[in-house]
Amino acid sequence: MTAQRILLIVLDGIGDRPHPALGGATPLSAARTPVLDRMAREGATGIMDTIAPGIRPGSDTSHLALLGYPPEEYYTGRGPLEAEGSGIRMRPGMIGFRANFATLGPDGLVTDRRAGRIHGTEPLSKAIEDGVDLLPFGVSFRFVSGAGHRAALALEGTGLGDGVGSNDPKHEGVAPTRFEPTTVRPEDVKTAAVLNEFVRQARPILFNHPLNRERLAQGLPPANEVLLRGAGRMGHFEPFGERYGLSGAVVAAATLITGIGKVVGLETIHVEGATGSVDTNLDGKVRAVVDALETHGFVLLNIKGADESGHDGKAEQKRDFIERIDGALAPFLDLQETVIAVCGDHSTPCTVMDHSADPVPVLVRGEGVRPDRVTKYDEFRCAEGGLHRIRGRDLLPTLLDLIGKSHKYGA
């Protein structure tokens, strides 16, 4: 019997490197993962370069590759994808940016690029939308909160370009930079001026906002600055359903991932309590996936908390969260007529505190899969698996073949 559906589970930032605090193990190899290990025993495993060997993937480019949209053809920047995920309807030609709420000290230096990983920033975003005026430039905008400290900005108007830099210094202890055009094109020069004016007007709005006054009174870092980066012009994406003949859905808390889902035509399934952090509602996300598989031939589940722990350099926290993930995935063992793939989108080593080019472990389990001899899902064992070393763009064609949706090449 041929399976009918595909479940792609992306454990965001799951890959890592040996860590001294874990006796030279990675968080994944140190974790107790009976569910993932059973999937590995019953399936085929390997390691995967989501883009290519030696390339450090972003979550944006890696997810595009995993969904079969080569990023070198479709990727224009993270901003439009983040904006879509935040609920902004991006029309072709609009310029999008990803944003962080950050904290500036009295000396104008960035003290926290994530404003204490603040949540509940919607009142701040609304105040900016209501208070900032870009009409003298002939530009309208949307500014919408995403998960946690994240937000997105979209600009619409004539003569706008995406060849602009960022005001994000990428480090604490330094001042935000001015936006500068990266070309001499008039549209990029204009956009840099628009962004500088946007930040200039937003700063006093944030400084005087009651939410930030309350945070200061509680000894918490205020979200009194907006850092923007990832400029991109909204392009065209062939709908997933037309491309593969499958209806699809995405279950994710990260606005970037839901944004990618939206631009390729996947239905977004919202889950109460899904945060994109280690406190996320894992059980709720799993239940939502099981329900979505009743009506969709493809479901993407993204679980992000391990990536956050990697960025924070917290190896034990990452290990412990992986164990929570493993327990939550148990209901998937009983799925019928479903091919399950589990992988990372990139590695986020706790010793690096950023993405790295280390390949990620991948497994495929379901009807028709030829099991190998690997019995544990981690970076070391999966390197010995029967899938060997593949690229991200190779995974979906493999899964489509297992459900009878691939096309013969040749006569």
Q: Is the pLDDT of residue 1 over 80?
A: no
What residue ranges do the domains of the chain occupy? 5-75+237-402, 82-233
User: Which whole-number Å values give the CA distances from 267 to 54, 245, 284, 301, 318, in the listed order?
Assistant: 33, 15, 17, 12, 29
pTM higher than 0.95: no
Q: Report pLDDT digits (tens) over 213-235.
A: 999 999 999 999 999 999 999 98
Q: How confident is the model at residue 278 (pLDDT cuts 50, 70, 90)?
A: very high
Look up residue 71 and give its two tokens. Answer: 């990023």
Q: Is the pLDDT of residue 289 over 90?
A: yes
Nearest C-alpha neighbor of 88 from the set 36, 140, 14, 41: 140
Mean pLDDT of the chain: 96
Asked if residue 194 lies in contact with residue 95, where contact means CB atoms within 8 angstroms, the answer is no
Q: Report pLDDT digits (tens) over 231-256.
A: 999 988 999 999 999 999 999 998 89
Asked if residue 345 lies in contact with residue 360, where contact means CB atoms within 8 angstroms, the answer is yes
Q: What is the mean pLDDT of residues 291-305?
A: 97
Q: Is the pLDDT of residue 22 over 90?
A: yes
pLDDT of residue 259: 93
pLDDT of residue 381: 98
pLDDT of residue 149: 92
Q: Which CATH superfamily is domain 5-75+237-402 in?
A: Alkaline Phosphatase, subunit A (3.40.720.10)
Q: Is the pLDDT of residue 309 over 90?
A: yes
